[in-house]
Amino acid sequence: MSNATNATQSCPETSGLENHLAAWGLPTTEKRLSKRLSSNMEEVRSFYDAMLPRLPEFIEYLNQFPLDAIPKEAHQIAWATLAMCEVDNAINKWNDITLDTGIDILRMIPKKNFPDRGQQ
């Protein structure tokens, strides 16, 4: 893995992807999950198809920085790259926005730490 402090690659060209990056470049897993749940398959597929060929290049670019030194202008690319994980199953396994053989995914509340049981 390249972790050089002197980044050599410049920020990848994203023309044509602007709308997708704006729609899916959301900062948290929870926000990206809601984005999937509120999208239709056509929107999800168009995002996936546009992003997939670019992912290796995006990841290699982002990978050259220490995590806290990823340039601000690349944050949206990073978050949209992570949003691809959120739509993977919908595209590749379910051909549907949600999994119809699992509990409502919003019932699973993300914990903050081991003792976290929410308000008691």
Partner 1 sequence: MGKPENLALPEIGSHALGTGKLPVEQYVSQEFFELEKEHIFRKSWLLVGRESDIKAPGDYQNFIVDTLGVSVVITRSKDQKLRAFYNACTHRGARLVNAPTGNVRALVCNFHGWSFNLEGDLINVPDAGLFAELDPKQEHLKPIHLDVWGGFIFINLAEKPEWTLREYLKPLDDKFDRYLGNKDWSWSFGWRAKFNANWKLIVDAQIEGYHVDMTHRKTIAGAIPGSNTAAYYFPESVGVPCGVAAYRPEDVSRGMQTPMNLLSAKYGATSIYTKPERQFAAEGGEGVLKEDHPLWIFDNYLVFPNIVLFVQKGQILIQRTLPISADECIWEVDFYHTERPTSFGHVFNMEQGVIQIRDVLSEDLYTAEGIHANFKCGAITHVNLNKQEVPLRAYYNRLLSAIEQSQAKEKP
- Contacts of residues 34-39 at CB distance under 8 Å and 24 or more positions apart, as own/partner, are 35/83, 35/86, 36/83, 36/86, 36/87, 36/90, 36/97, 37/97, 37/98, 37/105, 37/106, 39/97
Residue 113 engages partner 1 in binding (rule: CB under 8 A): yes
CB 89, CB 95: distance < 8 Å? no
Q: How far apart are CA 27 and CA 115, in angstroms?
A: 25
- State which of positions 47-106 bind partner 1 (CB under 8 A): 52, 55-56, 59, 62-63, 65-67, 70, 78, 81-82, 84-86, 88-89, 92-94, 99, 101-103, 105
Whichever of 17 and 77 has its CB closer to partner 1, that residue is 77
Whichever of 6 and 113 has its CB closer to partner 1, that residue is 113
Residues binding partner 1 (CB under 8 A): 1, 3, 29, 52, 55-56, 59, 62-63, 65-67, 70, 78, 81-82, 84-86, 88-89, 92-94, 99, 101-103, 105, 107-111, 113-118, 120
